[in-house]
């Protein structure tokens, strides 16, 4: 994780991120257990005698004292339901921790920015627009976490689950997995590469319009007395409407 956005994380936030990665590993293992259990249940339902050809399964049933084919099928179904329930519970916990991590990171980043600005000498404020500093604290910190950090965390966590799942399926059906993975991978890369420049330009435009709306709002409300005297209410409202429409 060498993306510049991760440089902003403190040690505490890195620890929270590592815990999140650990949770994702556990969730991935349970997910793979669910996939394998579903395949086992379908195979036993179609051919109960196939149990003898599946490594370790017969030993497990023998250890549990389940000899009848019907009971073996019911035991497999019960285990599959337990794994599915466990997966859902862990998924909720992972989602909660991920949102908690992003919320606290956003709060801490905005607080560090606030402290940095307050530590600057008064002469700094004479040369810079306080409205832009407020925008950086209130909006830019949120943008960094929401648009960049969240995207990278999602990419890493979902990518880990995808790689593990594809590896498991490759172990079971190598050729089908290779063909399916290649088709999906090529299509995904083509879409991402084709939209790359467009997304960059939209991102730059988004930031520009966001700054303009903030500037118009601040000028109108901070100078409300002059706006009223000069009768420029509609001018500011129209300017804001045009910018917001493009936004």
What digits encode the pLDDT tens for the residues 27-77?
Answer: 888 888 887 777 777 777 777 666 666 666 666 666 667 666 677 677 777
CA quadruple 161, 162, 163, 169: dihedral positive or negative?
Answer: positive
Q: What is the pLDDT of residues 186-220, one digit of tens each?
A: 776 777 667 667 767 766 767 777 777 777 666 66
Answer with the residue of higher pLDDT: 183 or 203: 183
Q: Specify the pLDDT at position 29.
A: 86
Share of the chain above pLDDT 90, in %: 2
What is the average per-residue pLDDT within 139-144? 75
Tokens coding 125:
């404020």
Tokens coding 216:
């118009």
Mean pLDDT for the chain?
Answer: 75
Tokens coding 130:
């306080």
Answer with the residue of higher pLDDT: 215 or 157: 157
Q: Specify the pLDDT at position 89.
A: 92
What CA–CA distance (Å, rounded) separates 237 from 172? 63
What is the average per-residue pLDDT within 108-133? 77
Q: Which residues contact 112 (CB under 8 A, 6 or more apart)?
A: none
CB 154 within 8 Å of CB 22: no
Answer with the residue of higher pLDDT: 119 or 202: 119
Query: How far, CA to CA in Å, does 200 sit from each of 196, 197, 203, 205?
Result: 6, 5, 5, 9
């Amino acid at each position: 994780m060498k993306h510049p956005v991760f440089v902003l994380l403190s040690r505490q936030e890195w620890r929270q991120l590592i815990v999140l990665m650990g949770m994702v590993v556990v969730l991935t293992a349970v997910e793979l257990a669910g996939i394998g259990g579903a395949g086992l249940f379908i195979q036993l339902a179609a051919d109960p005698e196939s149990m003898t050809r599946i490594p370790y399964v017969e030993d497990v049933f023998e250890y549990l004292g389940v000899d009848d084919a019907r009971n073996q099928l019911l035991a497999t179904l019960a285990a599959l339901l337990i794994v599915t329930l466990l997966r859902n519970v862990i998924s909720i916990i992972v989602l909660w921790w991920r949102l908690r991590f992003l919320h606290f990171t956003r709060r801490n980043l905005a607080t560090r920015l606030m402290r940095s600005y307050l530590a600057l000498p008064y002469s700094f404020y004479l040369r810079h627009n306080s409205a832009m500093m407020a925008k950086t604290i209130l909006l830019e910190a949120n943008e960094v976490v929401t648009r960049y950090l969240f995207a990278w965390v999602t990419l890493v966590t979902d990518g880990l689950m995808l790689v593990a799942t594809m590896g498991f399926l490759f172990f079971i059906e190598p050729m089908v997995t290779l063909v399916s993975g290649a088709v999906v991978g090529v299509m995904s890369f083509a879409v991402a590469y084709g939209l790359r420049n467009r997304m960059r330009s939209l991102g730059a435009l988004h930031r520009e319009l966001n700054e303009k709306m903030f500037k118009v709002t601040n000028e109108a409300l901070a100078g409300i007395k002059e706006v009223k005297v000069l009768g420029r209410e509609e001018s500011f409202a129209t300017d804001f409407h045009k910018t917001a429409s493009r936004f």
